[in-house]
Amino acid sequence: MEYENRQNDDIVRMVNIEKWFGRVYALRGVDFHLKRGETVGLLGDNGAGKSTLIKILSGYHVADKGDIYFDGKKVVIRSPRDARRLGIETVYQEQALAPNLSISRNIFMGREPVKGFGIMDKKLMDEESMQALQNLGLRLRSPDLPVVTLSGGERQGVAIARAIHFKAKCVILDEPTVALSVKEVNEVLEFIREIQREGISSIFITHNLYHVYEIAERFVVMARGKKMTDVLKEDVTLDDLSELVIKSALVE
Amino acid sequence: MNQTRRFYSFRSSSTLVVFVTLVVVFSIFTPNHIFINERNIAALGKLFPDLGIIALGIGVLMICGEFDLSVGSVLPFCSFIFAQQMIADFSPFVSFFVSLLVGAILGLINGIITVKTKMPSFITTLGTLMFWRGILYVWSKMMPMSIRTFVPSGSPFQKLMAGNLNAYIPVQVIWFAIFAVILSILLHFHRFGNWIYSTGDNRDAAHAMGIRTDLVKIICFMIVGVLCGFSACMQSVRLGSFAATQGVGFEFKAISACVIGGTSLRGGIGSMTGIFLGALTIPIIDNGLILMRVPVFAISAFIGLATILFVLLNNYIERKTR
């Protein structure tokens, strides 16, 4: 198969993905690929299907048709556990962290290091959390602070630090800059640059073209469950991109 | 000032303040200071763990984001099974384990219904509360059953479940403390505890991080069930019989205890220290008021009042410290 031949380039390859919700078509045969170390901006209006597409990749939904190749191998992703085992980490807007839990408990959520009998190694958790945050340039007072006391930008930092710490191969950033102040947006964009420096591939979903244009290397525009455009950054200006998104939403 | 702030930043500290205040008030104002009389304390120690042990489990379940109202029926149901097994000539120990098993199964049923139907557990366990009580009334014909001959005073099982460690410390208190320690380790030090908090605090996040949130919830329901089974045996042995009216009203008292202990009704917030203190506070209100000659029927009004005032107080402190 041609996909198998190109396996060295692509960390993720989704082929002819279809998804219905009841009788409503959410995705109609979408092809999507992500190269190693690449950052792709996934754009489109509300209901374009970009959320559904990445939720299939992260195991929230199961596709009705189509294949997923990860790291060159065909995979079946039935749950977030499956996705995480492969190395797909998600940084969702409101769904990534437990607000009342401490930073270190959040970073190690579901993957707590244990000393025996399932007792958590808190010292190790605290040290490694602080280290992971520091690598990201984020200095926080204590690993015991509940996440709810952090700013919006710092929270995204915690989620991104977690992804990097667990050596994710593909990070899905779902609207990471929504509802943040200008200063916090810059912070978060800096965190994403750290992901790029680590050589981790990422998918950046957003409505804000300015944020994604600064960072992504390629853009995929979706509308009504189809992929409309797939362009490299060097072939497109910010204005072109903006026009593409608007036009795709209006065509039919 | 800074130290008071620090003190109040722990959620259970307000529970501690209320607890200590109540103890002082009751000690001073009960006739002849009978509240701190050692016989009263020993009697209290025999009585409160019945509810206390269940409240510890309910607290864990509430942190996980669910309720269990059915404890008021699961308790007498297990008690009935316990008595029946012994009447059928099984040893008390075997009957005890059967009772724990039945508790676990009833908890499992609550859990599965709640998780699969995605209904609020407030509703599903309200249903099972009424269902199991109905079944119990029909099955037992509401007849009390004496079990005194199977667990006579001084027999090993009786000593284990309702004896005295020494003149002042009844064994029930020890059981309560043991369960509090076990659950405290589970919640605060074991990785499963982190799954419980995450599930209750943000179920989507926990799910996305690969935690099997449905399974976590079901296990928490089963913990409550097993504790009901345990408490059922303990209570039956102390009473020397099964009575169909055992456990009436436990469901709301257990929730009150947890709320007074600072457990959030929305899940994700709470601590074993708080729940422990809450489980001590409710029976103390009960006992103290009785000793102060408040009519028994008015006590419910006080507990209701205390619960509401306490939640208000807690919210107030939370706003002040944040």
Q: What backbone phi and psi angles, to 5 degrees, belong to A218?
A: -150, 150
CA–CA distance, B113 with B117 (Å, rounded to integer): 6
Residues B205, A109: C-beta atoms closer than 8 Å: yes
CA–CA distance, B71 with B282 (Å, rounded to integer): 17
Of B192, B202, B205, the CB nearest to A118: B192
CA–CA distance, A183 with A177 (Å, rounded to integer): 11
Task: Give yes or no for a contact between A36 and A7, defined as CB atoms under 8 angstroms apart.
Answer: no
Nearest to B227 by CA among B166, B285, B275, B291: B275
- Three-class DSSP category at A134: helix
- Of A188-197, B152-161, B163-172, minimum mean pLDDT range: B163-172
Q: Which residues of B touch A58 (CB under 8 A)?
A: 208
Smallest Cα distance from B72 to chain A, Å: 31
**Is the pLDDT score of B1 beyond 60?**
no
CA–CA distance, B119 with B103 (Å, rounded to integer): 22
Q: Domains in chain B, ordered, with CATH?
A: 11-321 (1.10.3470)
Residues A98, B269: C-beta atoms closer than 8 Å: no
**Is the pLDDT score of A56 beyond 70?**
yes
Which segment, B67-76, B241-250, B259-268, B284-293, is predicted with the most confidence on average? B67-76
Residues B190, A120: C-beta atoms closer than 8 Å: yes
Among positive and negative, which fits the CA dihedral A65, A70, A76, A77?
Answer: negative
Smallest Cα distance from A119 to chain B, Å: 4
Residue in this structure with the two tokens 């910010």, named with its chain if needed: A238
Among positive and negative, which fits the CA dihedral B203, B208, B214, B220?
Answer: negative
> In a mutagenesis test of the B interface, which of A57, A77, A95, A109 is the best target, namely the one with the most B β-carbons within 10 Å?
A109
Query: CB burial class (10 A; 0-12, 13-18, 19+) of residue B88?
Result: exposed
Would you state the pLDDT for residue B3? 63
Average pLDDT for residues A36-42, to the nearest whole number? 93
Query: CB burial class (10 A; 0-12, 13-18, 19+) of residue B90?
Result: middle
Would you state the pLDDT for residue B36? 87
Would you state the pLDDT for residue A1? 42
Nearest to A98 by CA among B195, B61, B62, B321: B195
- Numbered residues of chain A with Cβ closer than 8 Å to any chain B Cβ: 58, 60, 79-81, 84-85, 90, 92, 95-101, 105, 108-112, 114, 117-120, 122, 149
CA–CA distance, B162 with A57 (Å, rounded to integer): 57
B268 DSSP assignment: S
CA–CA distance, B284 with B176 (Å, rounded to integer): 15
Side chain identity at residue A66, one-letter code: G
State the architecture of A1-86+217-252 in CATH terms. 3-Layer(aba) Sandwich (3.40)
Side chain identity at residue A49, one-letter code: G
Residue count of chain B, please give it: 322
Rounded (to 5) percent helix, strand, coil in chain A: 35, 30, 35
A189-247, pLDDT tens digit by residue? 999 999 999 999 999 998 888 889 989 999 999 988 888 889 898 888 888 888 888 88
HSE of B166, CA atoms in CB hemisphere, 13 A = 2
CA–CA distance, A69 with B131 (Å, rounded to integer): 50
CA–CA distance, A88 with A163 (Å, rounded to integer): 9
A114-129, pLDDT tens digit by residue? 998 999 999 999 999 9
Residues B197, A101: C-beta atoms closer than 8 Å: yes
Of B189, B193, B207, the CB nearest to A80: B207
Strands, E assignment, chain A: 10-21, 24-35, 39-44, 65-70, 73-75, 88-91, 114-116, 119-120, 170-174, 201-205, 218-223, 226-232
ipTM of the complex: 0.86
The CATH number of the domain covering residues in A94-202: 3.40.50.300
B116-150, pLDDT tens digit by residue? 999 999 999 999 999 999 999 999 998 999 999 99
Alpha helices by DSSP H, listed for chain B, are 2-9, 12-29, 38-63, 71-87, 92-117, 121-140, 156-162, 171-188, 191-201, 203-208, 213-239, 250-260, 272-291, 299-321
What Rg value do the Cα atoms of chain A yield, rounded?
18
Q: Which residues of A touch B270 (CB under 8 A)?
A: none
Residues B206, A110: C-beta atoms closer than 8 Å: yes
Smallest Cα distance from B203 to chain A, Å: 8
Q: Which residues of B touch A93 (CB under 8 A)?
A: none
Q: Which residues of A touch B212 (CB under 8 A)?
A: 81
Mean pLDDT (chain B) is: 91
Residues A85, B210: C-beta atoms closer than 8 Å: yes
Q: Which residues of A touch B269 (CB under 8 A)?
A: 100
Of B189, B192, B197, the CB nearest to A98: B197
- What lies within 8 Å, CB to CB, of B164 at 6+ separation is B42, B170, B171
Query: What is the location of CATH 3.40.50.300 in chain A?
Result: 1-86+217-252, 94-202
A24 DSSP β-pair partners:
A21
Inter-chain Cβ pairs, chain A and chain B, closer than 8 A:
79
CA–CA distance, B74 with B105 (Å, rounded to integer): 10
Average pLDDT for residues B283-291, to the nearest whole number? 90
Would you state the pLDDT for residue B237? 95
Q: Is the model more confident about A170 or about B321? A: A170
Average pLDDT for residues B39-58, to the nearest whole number? 93
Residues B208, A95: C-beta atoms closer than 8 Å: yes
